[in-house]
Structure 1
Amino acid sequence: MDKNEKLAGLAFLLLLGGLGLASLFIVLFAELAEEVMDQEVSLFDDFIINGIQAISSTTMDTIMFVFTEMGSVWFLTLSSIIILLVLGVKMKDKWGVLFFIIAVGGGSLLTLLLKNLYLRDRPSINEEIDAIGYSFPSGHSMGSLIFYGFVIYLVIRTHQRPWIQWTVVTVLSLLIITIGTSRIYLGAHFPSDVLAGYIAGLIWLMLNLIALEWIQWHSKSPVPAVHALRQLLGPLYKKLLTKVPFFSK
């Protein structure tokens, strides 16, 4: 097996592994949704809410309002336009543009679909913080994970300097967590809504990035995917057969 075939085979295995991981998160989301519908998460929700409310203050109200706006529709839409300009004009990455639109736009539609599927009422209604409509899953949490997660992917994918990568990953990861926390603090969502938003957002983001990586790799690799996988696993399969008594007879 030459180097190209080996690399192609490993890339294909990574893609399969990503699909497997996404499947596990789908199961996790389904289990959480079932617990929510059966009203079996009240202890979890109450514990988190009480802990967050313990740090409430006028200053904290302002801080949390700022963070919740960073996950709002208007802010993510404006930020998405900037990312699209960078991808399309500066980087000329047509596939990046397409899958960014699918990830962010499709994520918004998926959020609406899930909300109208589970029909969970909010802890409180407040139009000033976009706390209207149904509660499960949290749209701010899901949207921020998809958007900022995609930005993290772009920074890593473009091979920026290590300190830049670590800074972006750390800052945006903390931002995603804080946005979700702000929704609980401001009374817009239950903690289980936020957790569900993170899980659903992660699933959707992973599927889009897997598809994007697959297309980019497939368009550049001179080795067909199935052939690469066969070449990679063939020697392992033959070795396994010689070690298992039943097959070696």
Structure 2
Amino acid sequence: MKNILKPTFLFLIAGFVLLFLTMSLFIELADDVLENEKFKIDHYFQEVLTYTANDTLYQWMTWITEAGSVPLIAISSVIVAVLLLIFTSNKWYSILFSLNMIGISLLTKVLKMVFQRNRPELIAAFDGTGYSFPSGHSTGAVAFYGFLIYLVWKLVTNRAVKWCIILLLGMLTIAIPYSRVVLGVHFFTDIMAGIALGLSWLIICIFTMEYMLWRAKKRQV
């Protein structure tokens, strides 16, 4: 314990607090959805974010939402996993990234079948089919781009480049769930639950990754 630095303690505490908050949020939303609760926040955002196909924001969202589509995330995940296996010295980067993406995909599919919440609108062109809760674009975006942010933080040495990439990935991670509400294929509570679930799973995977890196360093001492 004496060898663990203060920043490590702060990282662990912050991580566990965030994990508790995100899991609590998801459980609370899930419980209300099971009881068929009507959320005022869903009604509010449906009124506020009412756009037509001719609106500029709507057009932008049709492009942004594709960055969280299942085919793009799946193909990109395979590419990233292979690159990590080839170009990083620790195989656990590739293994944990793969588990992160496979795990969130399975969790999302199982939970959609459990809750079977209907969408506000079915639009196949934007992957707006199947059940609504939690939002798959939200869980996938948080898990995928969130882990990329972690990788950039760990592996990119140039400070300016690191923060530019993190900022861009962070904005994209937020924009993808937002696009699902603008396009009308998800309720706001769907994306809240998706972000909470994705972030909870991401934190677990990052903690596991940090533990494996700590073990590797300990063996080298």
User: Which consecutive aligned stretches of 4+ in structure 1 deviate over 2 angstroms post-superposition?
Assistant: 4-21, 35-42, 54-62
Please give the root-mean-square deviation of Cα atoms over the aligned residues, in Å.
Answer: 2.3
The CA deviation at 1:93 is 3.0
Q: Which of residues 115, 120, 123 in structure 1 aligns to 2:112?
A: 115
SS of 1:196's partner is helix
Change (3 A) 1:17 1:62: closer
- Determine the C-alpha separation between the residues in 2 that align with 1:30 and 1:65: 30
TM-score under structure 2 length normalisation:
0.90
- Determine the C-alpha separation between the residues in 2 that align with 1:113 and 1:23: 21
The one-letter code of the counterpart of 1:157 is K
Contact 1:41–1:192, Cα closer than 8 Å, also in 2: no
Is residue 24 of structure 2 the alignment partner of residue 43 of structure 1?
no
Q: Percent identity?
A: 35
- Determine the C-alpha separation between the residues in 2 that align with 1:19 and 1:206: 8
Is residue 184 of structure 2 the alignment partner of residue 187 of structure 1?
yes
Residues 57-68 of structure 1: matches in 2 within 5 Å? 57-68=54-65
The CA deviation at 1:24 is 3.0
The CA deviation at 1:222 is 5.9
Change (3 A) 1:127 1:214: same
How many residues align? The count is 220
SS of 1:6's partner is coil
Look at both structures and tell me which one has the larger radius of gyration over its CA atoms: 1
What residue number does 2:129 align with?
A: 132
Higher relative contact order (CA 8 A, sep 6+): 1
Change (3 A) 1:221 1:8: farther
Deviations along 1:21-50, whole A, 9 cap, x unmatched? 313321221112223333445310111122
The CA deviation at 1:130 is 1.0
Deviations along 1:159-216, whole A, 9 cap, x unmatched? 4322222212211111111111111111110010001000000000000000110111
